[in-house]
Structure 1
Amino acid sequence: MRIAMIGGGYVGLVSGACFAEFGTEVVIVETDRDKLDALRAGSIPIYEPGLDKIVSANTEAGRLTFTEDLASAIETVDAVFIAVGTPTRRGDGHADLTYVYEAARQIARHARTGLLVVTKSTVPVGTGREVARILRSERPDLAFSVASNPEFLREGNAIGDFMRPDRVIIGIDGTARDGGAHATALMRQLYRPLYLIETPIVMTDLETAELTKYAANAFLAMKVTFINEMADLCERLGGNIHDVARGMGLDQRIGRKFLHAGPGYGGSCFPKDTRALTAIARDAGAPSRLVETTVAVNEARKAAMAERVIALCGGSVHGKTIAVLGLTFKPDTDDMREASSLPLIHRLVEEGATIRAYDPEGMNAARPLLPGAVEYALSAQDAALGADALIVLTEWNVFRALAPARLLSAMRGRVIADFRNIWEPAAMREAGFSYHSIGRP
């Protein structure tokens, strides 16, 4: 089987490389010349553990290729996946589908009969129908099929999520002339390696598949926001959020995942998808109050983190040097999108602080997003040198191993705001720090 993937970004590159690992011939279409040149040269433009090895192996085997020529890419493929960006549209929270619909138009111009067009991007309900309408409008003579196959890839664990997923969601256009039989057969063939390991594969309609992705991410965002509010309550009442989360997570109806208190969720999915779902629900006349509140509470929480730091520093950070460990929204990625570090650092700089930051992978991506008052350190220890206070914003494993005594000797001040709870409070206080974490006594 041979497929094309339009978009060499996070979703397109990971999905394309993993399909190639399954034995499928994959061509990735990327119009960004710099990114395309990098991919052809064997350089991965994003940080994702294990991705470089899979890309390299399948490129060498001839199963994975890269091009900017969409016409040649889809000449002989059985299916083409749309994996372009769907950023939040300015002003109303909806997903911007400009790139999706432009991809559909280009596909229509060059498609051969019998082509299956699959949306892999996260798209609102109705997008698959609109893609089909565009294809019919551009090429009334074209026989084609449409499907929705949303991705559920966690940054930092995307390879495992694709190769050993909890489930695969496939939405088929049942209104097609053949009732969706052609699309169903192709998608089952494509995912045959996962059928063999008995992965649950949910076959449904377009609208349900599109909505499932938003519903899943919104629910997980609500779990994160809920445990953050419980952490605030623990701080007021003397409880321990780690034990609360463990006690909750052992209930199989709730589960342990996404119950880690912190400075608020970020990244490429949760902020964008929760905003989009609230817009979809509002337009449909069935507003989602829970998700709307989740969005508002999370934004307020990220803004409040800077105020916590200012209070811990005696009410002012003017003229002080603040060490920041971790910039990305989570470990094992270089993604800075909606990272909690951004509003916090901007606020501290506005208040006159000098920031010295270190992140194992995210500093290049952070530079254009942060003000000139930010200095970038060579290591975590270097960031702490002469600092009046230190903040932990991303739970990279390398930070967990830092010796308290070495931090103490490097820093000028004694304040630590551990917003990821990576250290034990008793040990840090015994070392001589004024240590503050999230939701722990």
Structure 2
Amino acid sequence: MKTTVVGSWHLASIYAAGLATLGHEVRLVARPEVTKGYERGEPPVHEPGLKEALAEYGGKGTWTFSDDIRDPANASEVCFLAEDVKVVPRGVDLDDFRKLFDAIASSKNFKIIPISSQMPIGTCRELQAAHPDVRVAYFPEFLRLGEGLARFLKPDYIVLGGDAGVTASVMPFFAGVDAPKFHVTLEEAEMAKHAANIFVALEVSFISELTKFSERFNVNLEKVGEILRHDARVGPKAYVLPGMGFSGETVERDIRVLLEKGRVLGIDLPLLSQIIPVNDEHNRFIERELKKRISNLTGSKIGFLGATYKPVTSTLRGSLFADLMMKLSGEGAEIRLFDPQVSDFQFLVQSPEEVFASADAVVISVGKKEFRDLDYQKLAGTMHSKVVIDAANLMSKDQARALGTDYISIGRGDL
């Protein structure tokens, strides 16, 4: 089947690669600079399998590119709109998105527009009313940075909001995907996306609150979390293991969207209103622990292993670690960072050895596979003041005790 995907960053790249992998003929419409990158074999974001899919299906000619939505060569019955929307303090700014939707609908190249961009509840109905000549659907994405293509091809479920005719045209694109498929209204699909992200935030905030008891009672919450995951009411994949809070904009976006909707409609949302403050307070963990041990940051040397907010991605968008490094640098600290997925950040060095050498403290920010087998005992021996903050809870009890340092992890008592 032939289809068009519109978007210039993560979401569109995954949709185009995924649909091509499923055997469809895909035309990806993106900004000119992004299109040129694709043509060079360089997608705009790192994702496992994305470059390989681009090489294979771009080479076969089943994944092609355009930078002009009005080009008749882009025409197809179904156009997946997968542009990442702008995140702002109140949730999202849809001005640019609405202009893009207007351009797609006015091009007369498409009959059905399934939107996968992050939409506040009620938005798709508004877009349909503004453009009755096309049929709007909502096809929410449930992807994750670093697992995008894998989760597109093997999702937990598929949700499509719209009328029955939309389902008949869109669902055949996913005939080869073995997953429960839900056909619901536009508003139910929009709310499903909000609810999925916010429920994860609730789980993360819940376990973050419990970490306050960890040191007081020497409780290892990793063990508690594993117990909870065996409870059928919680589930084996629940976000109930201790660690840093959520970041990366997407989860917080959905909370802020519903809080703003509630404010406009006069709906009180006391539970939702506390999630972000709880998370923000918990995410100051690294800074608090550093400042307990380094009274004057001026001239101190602080190393970081990892800056991205997910282990297998290259983006620093919404990374609390990147923000923290900038803050500590502004307070006089010398920052050194090693992250094998990041190519452009001012504190980068070339190896873990450079991060640890003469450092007053080292923060293990992210549990990347490249960090799992490092000889931390040897690396710690090169430090000046031996403080290791394992915010990823990467080390075992034996590894931590062998360091000979002041070792701090999250929610694991004294190990």
TM-score tier (shorter): over 0.9
- For residue 426 of structure 1, report the CA deviation from its aligned partner: 4.0
Q: Which residue of 1 aligns with 2:284?
A: 303
- Superposed, which structure 2 residues align to 1:359-398 within 5 Å? 359-364=339-344, 366-367=345-346, 375-398=347-370
Query: CA contact under 8 A between 1:358 and 1:378: conserved in structure 2?
Result: yes
- Runs (4 or more) in structure 1 with deviation over 4 Å come to none
- For residue 182 of structure 1, report the CA deviation from its aligned partner: 2.5
Are positions 1:251 and 2:247 aligned together? no
Aligned length: 412
Are positions 1:134 and 2:130 aligned together? yes
- For residue 288 of structure 1, report the CA deviation from its aligned partner: 2.8
Counterpart selection for 1:265 from 246, 261, 264:
246
Relative to the length of structure 1, the TM-score reads: 0.89
Unaligned runs of 5+ in 1: 137-141, 173-179, 368-374
Deviations 1:81-117 (A, max 9, x none): 2111222235xx13111232112211222114x7001
Q: Which residue of 2 aligns with 1:433?
A: 405
Q: Which moved more, 1:300-309 or 1:236-245?
A: 300-309
Deviations 1:377-408 (A, max 9, x none): 10112211111111111111111211123212
- For residue 333 of structure 1, report the CA deviation from its aligned partner: 0.4
- For residue 363 of structure 1, report the CA deviation from its aligned partner: 4.3
Q: Percent sequence identity over matched residues?
A: 28
Q: Which residue of 2 aligns with 1:43?
A: 42
Amino acid at match of 2:124: G
- Superposed, which structure 2 residues align to 1:190-269 within 5 Å? 190-194=173-177, 197=178, 199-257=179-237, 258-269=239-250
Query: CA contact under 8 A between 1:265 and 1:340: conserved in structure 2?
Result: no
CA distance in 1, matches of 2:296, 2:210: 28
Q: Which residue of 2 aligns with 1:120?
A: 116
Q: Which residue of 1 aligns with 2:100?
A: 103
Amino acid at match of 1:326: G
Amino acid at match of 1:125: I
RMSD of aligned alpha carbons: 1.8
CA distance in 2, matches of 1:413, 1:3: 58
3-state DSSP of counterpart to 1:344: helix
CA distance in 2, matches of 1:418, 1:94: 31
- For residue 181 of structure 1, report the CA deviation from its aligned partner: 3.4
Query: CA contact under 8 A between 1:245 and 1:256: conserved in structure 2?
Result: no
Give the 3 Å change call, closer, same or farther, for CA 205–354 of structure 1 in structure 2: same
CA distance in 1, matches of 2:5, 2:54: 14
Give the 3 Å change call, closer, same or farther, for CA 74–282 of structure 1 in structure 2: farther
CA distance in 2, matches of 1:406, 1:296: 39
Query: CA contact under 8 A between 1:27 and 1:73: conserved in structure 2?
Result: no
Counterpart selection for 1:164 from 138, 154, 159:
154
Deviations 1:40-91 (A, max 9, x none): 111122111111111221111221111101012675301112111222235x
Amino acid at match of 1:67: S
- For residue 304 of structure 1, report the CA deviation from its aligned partner: 4.2
Give the 3 Å change call, closer, same or farther, for CA 260–417 of structure 1 in structure 2: same
Query: CA contact under 8 A between 2:10 and 2:84: conserved in structure 1?
Result: no
3-state DSSP of counterpart to 2:283: helix
Give the 3 Å change call, closer, same or farther, for CA 419–147 of structure 1 in structure 2: same
- For residue 341 of structure 1, report the CA deviation from its aligned partner: 0.6
Deviations 1:123-142 (A, max 9, x none): 01111112212323xxxxx3
CA distance in 2, matches of 1:131, 1:264: 34
Q: Which residue of 2 aligns with 1:292?
A: 273
Query: CA contact under 8 A between 1:329 and 1:336: conserved in structure 2?
Result: yes
3-state DSSP of counterpart to 1:5: strand
Q: Which residue of 2 aligns with 1:410?
A: 382
- Superposed, which structure 2 residues align to 1:4-15 within 5 Å? 4-15=4-15
- Superposed, which structure 2 residues align to 1:51-130 within 5 Å? 51-72=50-71, 76-90=75-89, 93-112=90-109, 115-130=111-126
CA distance in 1, matches of 2:362, 2:214: 23
CA distance in 1, matches of 2:13, 2:24: 14
